[in-house]
Structure 1
């Protein structure tokens, strides 16, 4: 086993970026990640640093508890004269094994070698020991390595979720949604969420995390997605970011627009201030006062209690720029390539954009709109109206399907639910047309090739799923290999294919397959509108409406 040995001072701190566990063993402290228990009675810190120890010098081989703490980080004091950073780790519920060369330990190694040991501990060993450390860094190829992240993008209906799920099963990955609507609870049909029973046990992040009444911005997504990425890497799994919201993906890769990246000095200073507060018996309220005293009076009240990640980031911004975080959130409409918070690639991104001819995509999108209308989109839109939301009033009600469905149902409520076939087909046609236009905008966004979009390999999504999964898995496991030619979407680069596609699009006409005149699906939908939307006009409150609906259902039974 190759180890890195450093001489350190009496104080040693693990930052949240490391997210490691510690085991006391012969030869020094071995650093592991993603485990809650270790063999041989070793000492460990369960994941997320939910435990801490004030004096490692008193810990022996058989100690199994290191004290309780509500902190999401750890400050280890009196570590001793030597730290051993080993190239092995213990995966959850498994035996101790070698670290794979797939980047699963990348963030951990980068944090310790690049930041924590050299900067936080204070002094790296000199002379022979220091030279040995340098040599071992080169031999183990850990200097500069970054956590690997797979990003699968593409237009609506192209099959992103299907590919991501299959790839996650192959690579032991976890899915991070980059969809601006899937973040909302109860909005399942209109956002095309993968049903829980079809996720095959693969963890999904950033789905069902906020209520429809709340706004959710690209800035919030950046914070949440980056935190989820570190969590997945901490567990030794592969983050697979999936979505078609171009702004979300661009910010995820390049950073928030205009928000300054903290210097290393500011980063360390913020860490020390927050940790000092906690050690002295303070807590969240004291931390909020510290943020307000620093000049940011608006961020604190908007944070969820114990959201230390965002609080630390707010402190970094105010101390770096002299302005509160809210000053930069107003820059949302600025040039998205002007991002400075994390503008350099801090992860090893493997980016893919799924594509197929637009005429084929349009057919899929038209059918998907029909399926949504059949499977509950109108019911979800009705619930949004019942909650007091108006179309286009916030992020949830601004999305294409929900906005149009809410507007349609508002018209139905004005006429006691007397919706006609013609009016329903007008809604469906508008829904399909707006969705096709959104597909076109998604393709245009990624064709513009901004700073982040240049990294995407375009993939022909018409190929068999197994072919795509095999190629992407091989590229992930062998970083020096490029995506095979069979995956490349030649149709996006040849003038001849583009000309043929334009001719097909000129002749394209929607052909409904579910909702046709006198179809059972149409009859059921119109009956549902009559049964539910006619009750609204004479209801003075939502409670009154609910009582009338319950009475109507009881009568019909």
Structure 2
């Protein structure tokens, strides 16, 4: 019998975290983060990590599992997260996967064939050299020709992922999508998606950015720089961090930095929505109907889950 897992997806700032806490309380669950930047220690404010006193006593996993000076791959995440999910299930708890990194969620809910996507250091070095000579945009244009689907998901400035996608294509002769093994999923997964009107979501994004500034994002990046983090590292490509680096290096003003973080967050939200919008397995709920979402999820999607969780509290008691 497959392990049952619940996945909560959707664009940044839509409210996935709050819903995950409510469902964890109702389902006696533990939360497994699927955020590619929350894996890094010391990157707290810019990645909107919950403080320990905000987690309501609910155990969170796959947060702070890597140093920001190292590269954390989706393969490494999948191996660690699947081991974690198995351990949660053995404890009789419900694994609840939460996050906006679609590739991470997909690496758990589907079977990815990592065996063929070995690394080719020589080819990678060639691409890196080309990026220095011709610019990252030229490599992104090449990726658009080789693998249009991957190119639309990967930011034009995300050199690490552009190179990886081109590398996979060079080695296997297939797109990233074609490298997904269509074998049986290891889990019985239910996908819950949160959405919101564009104006409302953008307001939440803008408010979050200002909150991050007030909480000390600049000081956080200073501490990371003191630890040896450079702007070319994978971790420092996260939204917010790379813009702060631009500010510190005198490339943009403080006001322009804040504006760029807001714009980049909005573009990221669009890419997150594009990742899932054609996925027929996702059950979508409008975040504006907050008072009814939990009941609707219980009645329409998770019938029988609540009754089977010993010690879980009634759904209505989680508001």
Per the normalisation by structure 2, the TM-score is 0.74
**Aligned pair 1:366/2:196, yes or no?**
no
* 1:437 Cα deviation from its structure 2 partner: 0.9
Q: Structure 2: how far apart are the matches of 1:212 and 1:352?
A: 30
Q: Structure 2: how far apart are the matches of 1:472 and 1:159?
A: 15
**Aligned pair 1:218/2:74, yes or no?**
yes
**Aligned pair 1:227/2:83, yes or no?**
yes
**Aligned pair 1:471/2:308, yes or no?**
no
Q: Is the 8 A contact 2:168 2:176 kept in 1?
A: no
Q: Look up the SS of the partner of 1:394 in the other structure.
A: coil
Aligned with residue 331 of structure 1, among 156, 168, 174: 168
Report runs of 4+ in structure 1 exceeding 6 Å deviation.
none
* 1:257 Cα deviation from its structure 2 partner: 4.2
Question: 1:18-65: per-residue Cα shift (whole Å, max 9, x none)?
Answer: xxxxxxxxxxxxxxxxxxxxxxxxxxxxxxxxxxxxxxxxxxxxxxxx
Which aligned pairs between 1:20-419 and structure 2 lie closer than 5 A?
Answer: 110=1, 146-259=2-115, 331=168, 335-340=175-180, 343-391=183-231, 393-411=232-250
Give me the CA root mean square deviation: 2.6
Q: Structure 1: how far apart are the matches of 2:167 and 2:113?
A: 10
Tell me the matched-pair count: 256
* 1:431 Cα deviation from its structure 2 partner: 1.0
- Match for residue 286 of structure 2? 460
Higher helix share: 2
Q: Structure 1: how far apart are the matches of 2:92 and 2:228?
A: 43
* 1:439 Cα deviation from its structure 2 partner: 0.9
Q: Look up the SS of the partner of 2:272 in the other structure.
A: helix
Structure 1 residues 257 and 378: CA distance shift in structure 2, 3 A:
farther
- Match for residue 441 of structure 1? 271
Structure 1 residues 242 and 362: CA distance shift in structure 2, 3 A:
same
Structure 1 residues 233 and 401: CA distance shift in structure 2, 3 A:
same
* 1:387 Cα deviation from its structure 2 partner: 2.3
Structure 1 residues 357 and 342: CA distance shift in structure 2, 3 A:
same
Q: Whose relative contact order is higher, 1 or 2, with alpha carbons under 8 Å and at least 6 apart?
A: 2
Which aligned pairs between 1:469-548 and structure 2 lie closer than 5 A?
Answer: 469-474=294-299, 475-478=301-304
Question: 1:366-390: per-residue Cα shift (whole Å, max 9, x none)?
Answer: 1111111111111111122222322
* 1:220 Cα deviation from its structure 2 partner: 1.2
* 1:330 Cα deviation from its structure 2 partner: 5.4
Which is higher, the Rg of structure 1 or of structure 2? 1
Q: Structure 1: how far apart are the matches of 2:239 and 2:3?
A: 35
Structure 1 residues 401 and 181: CA distance shift in structure 2, 3 A:
same
Q: Look up the SS of the partner of 2:190 in the other structure.
A: strand
* 1:394 Cα deviation from its structure 2 partner: 2.1
Q: Is the 8 A contact 1:255 1:339 kept in 2?
A: no
Gaps of 5+ in 1: 1-109, 111-145, 261-326, 413-421, 480-557
